[in-house]
Structure 1
Amino acid sequence: MSSTSEKSSTSSSLLSAQTLVIVGIVWAVMALLFFLLFSVPLSAEEGLPLWYSIGTYIFECGAYLGAALVCFRNWQSPHMVSGRNVWLGIGLGMLFYFIGGVLFGIWELYFEADPDVSPADAFYLGSYVVLIGGMVIAVTSKRLNLEIWQWALLAGIAAFGIAVAIWVAAPESWRLQLGMSPAATQEVVTGSAPAPAAKGPGLENSSNSKVTGTAATAAKSAPEEEEEEEAAAEPSKTPTWVIALDKQLSPYAYAINLFYIVGDVFLLIIATALLLAFWGGRFSQSWRMIAAATFSLYIADMYFKWRDTQAEGTYQSGSLLEVFFVFSAILFGIGAILEHDISTRSRQSRRSRRAA
């Protein structure tokens, strides 16, 4: 009997709120140090090493898997004040994001593909749906009696999120006019004016048109031509069925990216509403973590889409600010841990008062 009680006490201590929170913080610090030390490639030609990319996926997917487990623990507990369905939605969102991260890593690292749309997007889209659903249930379960300044703050953050999303999703023509395009930036740095658009038969009348004929041939140096020939001669490591699937899914890229941006803005607004609704309450600590997790997800996702747009679809994931993906998962998990701890402790205190 004593050995059984010792084992149960040891397991409960390992799964205590303090221990789990410390594990999450340590994971976040390790991820931050990893990104800080190795996110800058040694040279632009080499890019990021494979071991670093694998490490980023391990930190990110591990954080989301851990967050899903603690959220599902809340879902199974009947004592959650905010409701079990809230944590079911958030837990499914974390699980879908974990599965999507694994699939995206396989596509990017193993197949060496850079698709506009991949099977991972199905789980990423699902994560937005269930995550927004869970957070909406949390908001609707608590009456929003906000003051005027709180409504103004909510409106200001919503306007800011929408403005950033529009800037990230701006078409290339807008970027050229506003000087946000990489080509326009290069012209400003080098001090060279763009070449006038060529007009005539067989030539495009556009500022993005490529120079053809003998001028383009003369502009290329011999080393560049050799590199292009070697790249063309080298067989692609991407399977043919992956390339075919990419061609089938690429027409849906614009709609899916638009859904992501709208979902990010919606999550940002809901997180702000949750932060204001639960501010100063008994469970304010857990929902502050949830709001911070949503803000982190917004920062990481907007940065990823902005860099991918700037790189014209050739961006390799793993930049420094993508560590906010890890922070987001850990903050979701810490929020679940804190609410579980407060809910169970309040239940135990009620039992002790009844017994007394």
Structure 2
Amino acid sequence: MGSRPDIRGLVVQHNLGLQKDKAPQPDAQKALGPTTEVPALSLDELKEKTNNFGRGSNGVTYFVTLNDGTSLSVKKRDFSDVLNPLFLTQVSRVSTLKHENFVGLRGYYCEGNAHVLAYEYATMGSLHDRLHGTIRKGVREAKPEPVLDWMQRVRIAIDAAKGLEYLHEKVNPCIIHGKIRSNNVLLFKDLRAKIGDLNLSHRARNLNVLYRSMGSSPYHAPEYALVGRPTCKTDVYSFGVVLLELLTGRKPGADRNVPNIATWATPKQKKEDEVEKIVDPSLKGEYSLKGAVKLAAVANLCLQNEPGFRPCMTLVVKGLEPLLGAEYRIPPMSLEPDINKHQRTS
């Protein structure tokens, strides 16, 4: 990085992890652009903690513990041109987003063509890690984790739905995530879930679309191939795929015999006995069948081919919250041993 100061007048000191914004002079306020609610980062400390960002790796996420004990998830992006003011505008906006189910921005460094963003560190990994047993990429290796039980899955679904509801319906103007998937449902203490990875690119043309998803994906709604851009309704479709992952334990599109999880599961979501056949076998029958049918019904609404038939996220939250009630609880298992029978709600 060059030795010149950041164009927004932020002081980056080598011996401190996080520094507060230095108030600009009145005559410079207009040139510096929007203010942010997160501090600047020490680039030297980040280089030390990440082994110089893996000798140039671009877009990789690192786990970092700063000298003051703060744990962060850090991503560095390099661009060929100089810092674009639009990127700073996006950082400023995202720094104001505060919700218990949204991964907050904790700091950043912007100078020249280097952009470094730091977020809350997801101590329990991602939903994808937990469901599919994958090893997290980065500086710290993930260990095998216990299978998520039914109620943990229900709570994760509700938490994630509330996070996306916040972006769509509580923020004004709304924010389209554009890359909803199990990798970006991040898990924290007590398996509380938050929506993450609002990956800021200074190339984005619309501040309301902070990440542009590219290429083909089983998370993409049918209309995505036609319009080529995410919308709130494509986010809802993607969330429906995440719900199917929670219900079935399958990876989207992992089976070569089916195009994706939505195509495979949708015909099986309408009857109770069919839903029972697609529930994740790793649960070993310890779930509420009535709850599984309810969750499948909500997923089915999210996965409607016509965008106008998909619910808003507030309705998705309202559809999922009853799963925490006694009506959908798992009944106590029988004390009599019976390896071939599992009690569920009818």
Q: TM-score, normalised by structure 1?
A: 0.24
Greater gyration radius: 1
